[in-house]
Chain A
Amino acid sequence: METTTAEFEPKIIAFLCNWCTYAGADLAGTSRLKYPANIRAIRLTCTGRIEPMFLLKAFQEGADAVLVSGCHPGDCHYTSGNYHARRRWTVFRKLLEFSGIDPRRVLFSWVSAAEGRKWSELVAEITAQVRALGPFTSFERIVKA
């Protein structure tokens, strides 16, 4: 099932909270930490703002994987948005898995504004992981039908 194609470059769509992970990714930039260019970030206020439909829409637009990332528990700029998000994703990722979306394509992380290095390493790691998984052709089949 898993194919590694030399030409295949995965598309990873990330939904980031403004206060932690987006800022952490900024720090990775200011620190000139290199990581693969496969990730595309959409900035939102908080992980609490991120809806399940965003993930489905990302797959519709051809994402090979999606990433949701925000503040560590207890650090939410809005106190509790990430706690609500965590519950949402606990259920939704299981539902997606049950509905046939490989959980290795549905990724979550906590990256703080200070964790530029964690961000760059995370992106490198998940890019390699999704590259190994290969293109999400089975979902593309549904999108195009």
Chain B
Amino acid sequence: MARIGVFICWCGENIGRTVDCPKVAAEAGGFPGVVHAVDYKYMCSDPGQGMIKDAIKEKKLTGVVVAACSPRMHEPTFRRACAEAGLNPFLCEMANIREHCSWVHEEKGDATAKAVQLVRVMVEKVKRNEALFPIKVPVTKRALVIGGGIAGIQAALDIANGGQKVVLVEKEPSIGGHMAQLSETFPTLDCSQCILTPRMVEVAAHPNITLHTYAEVESVSGFIGNFDVKIRLKARSVDIKKCTGCGLCAQKCPQKKIPSEFDEGLGMRTAIYTPFAQAVPNKPVIDRAHCTKFLTGKCGVCQKVCPVGAVDYAQEDTFVEEKIGAIVVATGYRLYDFRNGEKDYGIEGYGEYGYGQYKDVIDGLQFERLASASGPTGGAILRPSDGKAPETVVFIKCVGSRDCAKGLSYCSKICCMYIAKHAMLYKHKVHHGTAYVFYMDIRAGGKNYDEFVRRAIEEDGAVYIRGRVSRIYTRGDKLIVAGADTLLGGAAGGRVEIEADMVVLATAMRPQYGIEALAQKLSIGYDEYGFLTEAHPKLRPVETNTAGIFLAGACQGVKDIPEAVGQASGAAAKVLGLFSSDQLEREPIVARVNQSQCVGCFYCEQVCPYHAIEREEKRDKAGNLIARVAKVNAGLCQGCGACVATCRSNSIDLDGFSEEQVFSEIGGLR
């Protein structure tokens, strides 16, 4: 039989003024199963908690109801007190007679009657509570970082420097990401590679980091602390253990006319190549799609010249499997493909800007390569068509961004800053040239950002035109940029036409190709644009809704370098926090399946936001499959109960908010 203790708190005057607490205690004393009911000024005070502890021991209570403030306020307090007296903390419930009663009602009779009912509800609930025990989950102290751009590098280094193991997976032959492509960075104009490459080297040398480049995550299963990750190591055709990185193979490779991805097509590379001089690891791969040996079977020069015999045409993709405790996703961004449009997303391109048609219409990353000392022009701003220094350059912002009609509705955020930087760099290198910038707004919120833009305009003389460009066409070897200057009125209607030598489009930032597939492998959410979804936009911007998976950098939303680095360090801190003990302890509010009655429709699986429903096969003695039934992975379950309400046969229940409990609570309201 239940032996319930009820403790009515006055909360000083807060409850006592409107609720007749002695009367509530007297009524509660008459409820079936209640063996002890008292009221007291401050239940949460030491003496108040002492009363509860004493009663638990003296009256051998099997459950406790504290009628006081909101359980969101003091439930932990009273549960702890119960635990200290030897009662399982989950056998304690609170009736909220302050926030939900005394503070919101004025008439004492009504408030007291309501308080009595609220106590009755919790008495009936607690009679059906069961002792629950925190769920312990072991933690594998090894993190996986997906993506070796600046965010991934930062996260990996922070975790590794925190003393934990890291596996870093990068799909390209080298880590470094887009930051390695940049010339200088705003607002300080320090050289991007100069600040990045030491960190890349640190990654490669770090004893706690295992680096897999030219590799992709094949599959992920498991849950927080216990992921099983399979990684595909794509066939490099080069044995990186043997390879010394001497570069002879690339020098001798006869296939030299392949547009370089690193140089955004402005420079050329060979079929066996390292993406750039400072690549980490500095070991080449063979681009099988362009290699003569792979295309025709003839050639084999690189194998012949390799002094250590590292070239291996027969190499195949291999797989490694890693036990992982936490995952940081840092897959970064790409630029909006405005030439082809993004048909998969139902977005048209900007054919009117002539990209692909006119060699001298380039995008922001191409400009970076032109301005970079390691770039195809050695840092000279020369136009791609004829290699001449452009006298007039037009920069167009918001190409694809902030364009609901044929682009993306969001602001790509970094363009205002990098276009200012581009204009500045251009002026520094082509002193007599003119830089025009078409803009919608200037968004330069950031430390020293607005000052930077002002410098571009005021010191370096960039001409900012507020308006949009409607069309670009050629006249002779010039590009005619036709647009509107909305600040100009008059008969011309603000129409402007600029004769330019080169046009730079600040195209929108997009998440990397394949992000949706990766998100599905990881069971994390993504928005309509493919950006990965954080657990809470304000308070949990680094976590995902899948416990143990964190986000860093532009995969979560548009970001500049300092923001990406900051989030990466945040993710690393989350991982280190998770790894700070050998076991995870979770509140035991989880769902449970009655497998003997489950019919395996798996609606529960479909409504579970955490992929906590697993399938289990039931077999008879002869090994024949009898049924497939659902099973809750308590490590993943967050206890929302969506599965319970979806189950037609009531074959799932939620600990702490069970069917029996709710049934009786409603009954308590008669």
Query: Which residues on A are within 8 Å of B, measured CB to CB?
Result: 11, 13, 18, 22-23, 25-30, 32-37, 40-46, 48-51, 54, 57-58, 61-63, 77-81, 84-85, 88, 120
Give Cα distance in the complex from A30 to B99, angstroms.
Answer: 6
- Whole-angstrom distance between the Cβ of B104 and the nearest chain A Cβ: 5
Q: Can you list, as one digit per residue, whether each of B423-466 has a CB less than 8 Å from chain A (1) or not (0)?
A: 00000000000000000000000000000000000000000000
Q: List 27 A-B contacts (CB under 8 A).
A: A22-B70, A23-B72, A26-B96, A27-B99, A29-B70, A29-B98, A34-B104, A34-B106, A36-B105, A37-B111, A40-B117, A42-B669, A45-B589, A48-B607, A48-B640, A48-B641, A49-B642, A49-B644, A49-B654, A57-B663, A58-B669, A61-B670, A78-B610, A78-B642, A80-B642, A81-B640, A81-B641
- Whole-angstrom distance between the Cβ of B105 and the nearest chain A Cβ: 4
Give Cα distance in the complex from A28 to B103, angstroms.
Answer: 8
* Number of residue pairs spanning A and B whose beta carbons lie under 8 angstroms apart: 123
Q: Can you list, as one digit per residue, whether each of B84-113 has a CB less than 8 Å from chain A (1) or not (0)?
A: 000000000000101111011111001101
B305 is an interface residue with CB less than 8 A from chain A: no
Give Cα distance in the complex from A27 to B669, angstroms.
Answer: 23
Give Cα distance in the complex from A33 to B99, angstroms.
Answer: 10
- Beyond A48-B641, A78-B642, A84-B607, is A29–B666 a contact (Cβ under 8 Å)? no
Give Cα distance in the complex from A84 to B96, angstroms.
Answer: 28
- Whole-angstrom distance between the Cβ of A32 and the nearest chain B Cβ: 6
Give Cα distance in the complex from A30 to B73, angstroms.
Answer: 11
Cβ of B662 and Cβ of A48 under 8 Å apart?
no
- Give chain B residues whose Cβ lies under 8 Å from the Cβ of A63: 669
Partner of B100, one of A26, A49, A58, A84: A26
Q: Chain A residue with minimal CB distance to B535?
A: A79
Cβ of A44 and Cβ of B657 under 8 Å apart?
yes
Cβ of A54 and Cβ of B103 under 8 Å apart?
no
- Beyond A49-B644, A84-B642, is A32–B104 a contact (Cβ under 8 Å)? yes
Q: Chain B residue with minimal CB distance to A22?
A: B72
Partner of B609, one of A26, A32, A57, A78: A78
- Beyond A22-B72, A26-B99, A28-B99, is A42–B665 a contact (Cβ under 8 Å)? yes
Cβ of A29 and Cβ of B104 under 8 Å apart?
yes
- Whole-angstrom distance between the Cβ of A27 and the nearest chain B Cβ: 8
- Give chain A residues whose Cβ lies under 8 Å from the Cβ of B106: 34
The prevalent SS among residues of B at the interface is helix
Give Cα distance in the complex from A54 to B638, angstroms.
Answer: 22
Q: Chain A residue with minimal CB distance to B609?
A: A79
How many residues of chain B have a CB within 8 Å of chain A?
44
Partner of B644, one of A23, A25, A43, A51: A51
- Give chain A residues whose Cβ lies under 8 Å from the Cβ of B670: 61-62
- Whole-angstrom distance between the Cβ of A16 and the nearest chain B Cβ: 10
- Beyond A43-B71, A45-B639, A79-B609, is A37–B105 a contact (Cβ under 8 Å)? yes
- Give chain B residues whose Cβ lies under 8 Å from the Cβ of A88: 645
- Beyond A26-B72, A42-B666, A80-B607, is A37–B99 a contact (Cβ under 8 Å)? no
- Give chain A residues whose Cβ lies under 8 Å from the Cβ of B72: 18, 22-23, 26
Partner of B121, one of A42, A44, A81: A42
- Give chain B residues whose Cβ lies under 8 Å from the Cβ of A45: 589, 639-641, 654, 657
Give Cα distance in the complex from A54 to B100, angstroms.
Answer: 21
Cβ of B641 and Cβ of A46 under 8 Å apart?
yes
Cβ of B609 and Cβ of A80 under 8 Å apart?
yes
- Beyond A37-B105, A45-B657, is A13–B642 a contact (Cβ under 8 Å)? no
Known: A11-B669, A22-B70, A51-B645. 8 other contacts (CB 8 A): A23-B72, A45-B657, A46-B641, A48-B641, A61-B666, A61-B667, A61-B669, A84-B645
- Give chain A residues whose Cβ lies under 8 Å from the Cβ of B525: 79
- Interface positions, chain B 630-658, Cβ under 8 Å from A, are 638-642, 644-646, 654, 657
Cβ of B669 and Cβ of A13 under 8 Å apart?
yes
- Beyond A28-B104, A29-B100, A79-B609, is A49–B641 a contact (Cβ under 8 Å)? yes
Cβ of A49 and Cβ of B99 under 8 Å apart?
no
Q: Can you list, as one digit per residue, whether each of B130-168 has a CB less than 8 Å from chain A (1) or not (0)?
A: 000000000000000000000000000000000000000
Give Cα distance in the complex from A58 to B118, angstroms.
Answer: 15
- Give chain B residues whose Cβ lies under 8 Å from the Cβ of A11: 669
- Whole-angstrom distance between the Cβ of A17 and the nearest chain B Cβ: 9
- Give chain A residues whose Cβ lies under 8 Å from the Cβ of B101: 29, 37
- Whole-angstrom distance between the Cβ of A93 and the nearest chain B Cβ: 15
- Whole-angstrom distance between the Cβ of A48 and the nearest chain B Cβ: 4
- Whole-angstrom distance between the Cβ of A90 and the nearest chain B Cβ: 14
B114 is an interface residue with CB less than 8 A from chain A: yes
- Give chain B residues whose Cβ lies under 8 Å from the Cβ of A22: 70, 72
Cβ of A25 and Cβ of B100 under 8 Å apart?
yes
Q: Chain B residue with minimal CB distance to A57?
A: B666
- Give chain B residues whose Cβ lies under 8 Å from the Cβ of A41: 96, 100
Give Cα distance in the complex from A45 to B638, angstroms.
Answer: 10
- Give chain A residues whose Cβ lies under 8 Å from the Cβ of B638: 78
- Give chain A residues whose Cβ lies under 8 Å from the Cβ of B303: none
- Give chain A residues whose Cβ lies under 8 Å from the Cβ of B607: 48, 80, 84
- Give chain A residues whose Cβ lies under 8 Å from the Cβ of B610: 78
Q: Can you list, as one digit per residue, whether each of B404-431 has a CB less than 8 Å from chain A (1) or not (0)?
A: 0000000000000000000000000000
* Most chain B CB neighbours (cut-off 10 Å) among A58, A63, A81, A88: A81
Give Cα distance in the complex from A50 to B640, angstroms.
Answer: 10
* Most chain B CB neighbours (cut-off 10 Å) among A11, A32, A45, A61: A45
Give Cα distance in the complex from A42 to B668, angstroms.
Answer: 10
- Give chain B residues whose Cβ lies under 8 Å from the Cβ of A30: 99, 103
Cβ of B642 and Cβ of A29 under 8 Å apart?
no
Cβ of A48 and Cβ of B642 under 8 Å apart?
yes
- Give chain A residues whose Cβ lies under 8 Å from the Cβ of B96: 26, 41, 43
- Whole-angstrom distance between the Cβ of A67 and the nearest chain B Cβ: 13
B197 is an interface residue with CB less than 8 A from chain A: no
Q: Chain A residue with minimal CB distance to B610?
A: A78
Q: Chain A residue with minimal CB distance to B638?
A: A78
- Give chain B residues whose Cβ lies under 8 Å from the Cβ of A85: 645
- Whole-angstrom distance between the Cβ of A64 and the nearest chain B Cβ: 12
Q: Chain B residue with minimal CB distance to A59?
A: B666
- Give chain A residues whose Cβ lies under 8 Å from the Cβ of B98: 29
Give Cα distance in the complex from A11 to B114, angstroms.
Answer: 11
- Give chain A residues whose Cβ lies under 8 Å from the Cβ of B210: none
B545 is an interface residue with CB less than 8 A from chain A: yes
Cβ of B642 and Cβ of A46 under 8 Å apart?
yes
Cβ of B609 and Cβ of A44 under 8 Å apart?
no
Give Cα distance in the complex from A97 to B96, angstroms.
Answer: 33
